[in-house]
Chain A
Amino acid sequence: NPKSVAKDEL
């Protein structure tokens, strides 16, 4: 399932 939260963002 797609990653839920944009943790790779700033």
Chain B
Amino acid sequence: MNIFRLAGDMTHLASVLVLLLKIHTIKSCAGVSLKTQELYALVFATRYLDIFTDFISVYNTVMKLIFLGSSFSIVWYIRRHKIVRRSYDKEQDTFRHYFLVLPCLLLALLIHEKFTVKELLWTFSIYLEAVAILPQLVLLQRTRNIDNLTGQYVFLLGAYRSLYILNWIYRYFTERHFVHWITWIAGLVQTLLYADFFYYYFESWKNNVKLQLPA
């Protein structure tokens, strides 16, 4: 485990815990896209199937359980919690996320490493994670301003993906371990999606103005 990988996992953990804490504490999910949260819950559910069959390490298993638990908790809060659900912006969060799920499913059926159910679902989860943030970014554009916790959430997710790319580069040069090109491309696409958000996030932070995304 290299520092990039550990830092990446920690920022990813922070992003979901920050979001869960915000929703639990202020009993509000204003600015949060339920669609993105549902997509992430699906990403984890289809990627962590091996949690019961392949034991890699305590760390690996514990982190998978935390990610599964937190992502499904966030979906539960927004859908079911009597107070939180009132602050969910149904009219604005209209991204048809099925338009993301189906192409990822088809792509996984076309491009994969092994044609086994577990591998297909794993590949599907890699593709889906790359685009899962889109409903959230669209919602942020629509609601124009970003309350800082949602901004932090997207920022931490972007940081986690960037660190994972550094981790893959590091592993390529040290362990002769190469990441399958499928994972490379999906990971790069995902990170690039954050690039413009990063630009506006830093601009607003530098000029100390409220973060505004251009329409």
Instruction: Give me the interface of A with B, judged by CB distance under 8 Å.
Output: 2-10
- Give the Cβ gap from A9 to chain B, nearest Cβ, in Å: 7
B5 engages A9 (CB within 8 Å): yes
In the complex, chain B residues 29-80 whose Cβ is within 8 Å of any chain A Cβ: 50, 54, 56-57, 60, 63-64, 67
Instruction: Give me the interface of B with A, judged by CB distance under 8 Å.
Output: 5, 9, 12, 50, 54, 56-57, 60, 63-64, 67, 113, 122, 164, 167-168, 171, 175-180, 182-183
With A9-B5, A10-B60, A10-B63: A2-B164 Cβ-Cβ less than 8 Å:
no
Dominant secondary structure of chain A at its interface with chain B: loop
- Give the Cβ gap from B215 to chain A, nearest Cβ, in Å: 35
- Give the Cβ gap from A1 to chain B, nearest Cβ, in Å: 9
- Give the Cβ gap from A2 to chain B, nearest Cβ, in Å: 5
Q: Can you list 22 A-B pairs, Cβ within 8 angstroms, ordered by A?
A: A2-B178, A4-B178, A4-B180, A5-B113, A5-B182, A5-B183, A6-B168, A6-B171, A6-B177, A6-B179, A6-B183, A7-B50, A7-B54, A7-B56, A7-B122, A8-B56, A8-B60, A9-B5, A9-B167, A10-B9, A10-B63, A10-B67
Q: What's the A-B contact tally at a CB cutoff of 8 Å?
A: 36
CA distance in complex: A4, B9 (Å): 20
A2 engages B67 (CB within 8 Å): no
Chain A, residue nearest B126 (CB): A5
6 tightest Cβ-Cβ pairs between the two chains A and B: A5-B180, A2-B176, A6-B179, A2-B177, A4-B180, A8-B56
- Give the Cβ gap from A4 to chain B, nearest Cβ, in Å: 5
Chain A residues whose C-beta falls within 8 Å of the C-beta of B50 in the assembled complex: 7
Chain A residues whose C-beta falls within 8 Å of the C-beta of B9 in the assembled complex: 10
Chain B residues whose C-beta falls within 8 Å of the C-beta of A9 in the assembled complex: 5, 164, 167
- Give the Cβ gap from B146 to chain A, nearest Cβ, in Å: 26
CA distance in complex: A3, B172 (Å): 11
Chain B, residue nearest A3 (CB): B177
